[in-house]
Amino acid sequence: MNDQLDPKAILAALRTVLPKDTNNVALHEPRFSGNESAYVKECLDTGWVSSVGKFVDRFEVQLAEYTGAKRAIAVVNGTAALHVCLLLVDVQPGDEVIVPALTFVATANAVTYCGATPHFADSAFTTLGLDPGKLDAYLQKIGEVRGNNCYNKKTGKRIKAVIPMHTFGHPVDLDSLIEVCTRYRLVMVEDAAESLGSFYKGRHTGNWGKVSALSFNGNKIITTGGGGAILTNDEELGLRAKHLTTTARVPHPWELAHDMVGYNYRLPNINAALGCAQLEQLPSFLMKKRALAEQYRAALDEVKGVTFFTEPGHSKSNYWLNAFLLDEQESDKRDALLELTNRNGIQTRPAWTLMHRLPMYESCPRMELSNAEDLSRRLINIPSSAVLGEPYGEA
Ligand SMILES: *Cc1c(COP(=O)(O)O)cnc(C)c1O
| pLDDT per residue as tens digits for the range 104-130 | 999 999 999 999 999 999 999 999 999
Q: pLDDT at residue 207 above 80?
A: yes
Instruction: Establish whether residue 143 lines the binding site of ligand 1, counting it when its CB lies within 6 angstroms of any ligand atom.
Output: no
Task: Name the residue among 25, 1, 9 with its Cα closest to residue 326.
Answer: 9
| Atom number in ligand 1 closest to CA 213 | 10
Supply the residue whose CA is at minimum distance from atom 5 of ligand 1.
78
Number of other CB atoms surrounding residue 247 within 10 Å: 16
- Cβ neighbors of 260 (< 8 A, separation 6 or more) are 244, 248
> What is the mean predicted confidence (pLDDT) over 287-313?
96
| Spacing, Cα 167 to ligand 1 middle (Å) | 11
Q: Which range is least confidently modeled, 77-86, 159-168, 176-185, 382-391?
A: 382-391
| Spacing, Cα 363 to ligand 1 middle (Å) | 23
| Spacing, Cα 240 to ligand 1 middle (Å) | 22
> What is the mean predicted confidence (pLDDT) over 76-105?
98
Do 136 and 383 touch, CB atoms closer than 8 A? no
Beta strands in 311-369 (DSSP E): 315-316, 322-326, 349-350
Q: pLDDT at residue 220 above 50?
A: yes
Q: pLDDT at residue 219 above 80?
A: yes
Q: pLDDT at residue 278 above 60?
A: yes
pLDDT category, 22, cuts 50, 70, 90? confident
- pLDDT, residue 394, reads 47
Q: pLDDT at residue 287 above 50?
A: yes
| Atom number in ligand 1 closest to CA 79 | 9
- pLDDT, residue 395, reads 39
How far is residue 221's CA from residue 229's CA, in Å, rounded to a whole number?
A: 14
Query: Residue 339: which H helix or E strand, with range?
Result: helix 334-343
Instruction: Establish whether residue 206 lines the binding site of ligand 1, counting it when its CB lies within 6 angstroms of any ligand atom.
Output: no
How far is residue 61's CA from residue 38's CA, in Å, rounded to a whole number?
A: 20
Q: Which residues of 86-102 are buried (b: 16+ CB within 10 A; e: fewer)?
A: bbbbebeeebbbbbbbb
> What is the mean predicted confidence (pLDDT) over 171-182?
98
The β-bridge relationship of strands 158-162 and 96-100 is: parallel
- pLDDT, residue 48, reads 86
Q: pLDDT at residue 20 above 80?
A: yes
| Spacing, Cα 142 to ligand 1 middle (Å) | 29
Instruction: Establish whether residue 191 lines the binding site of ligand 1, counting it when its CB lies within 6 angstroms of any ligand atom.
Output: yes
Instruction: Establish whether residue 109 lines the binding site of ligand 1, counting it when its CB lies within 6 angstroms of any ligand atom.
Output: no
> What is the mean predicted confidence (pLDDT) over 187-209?
98
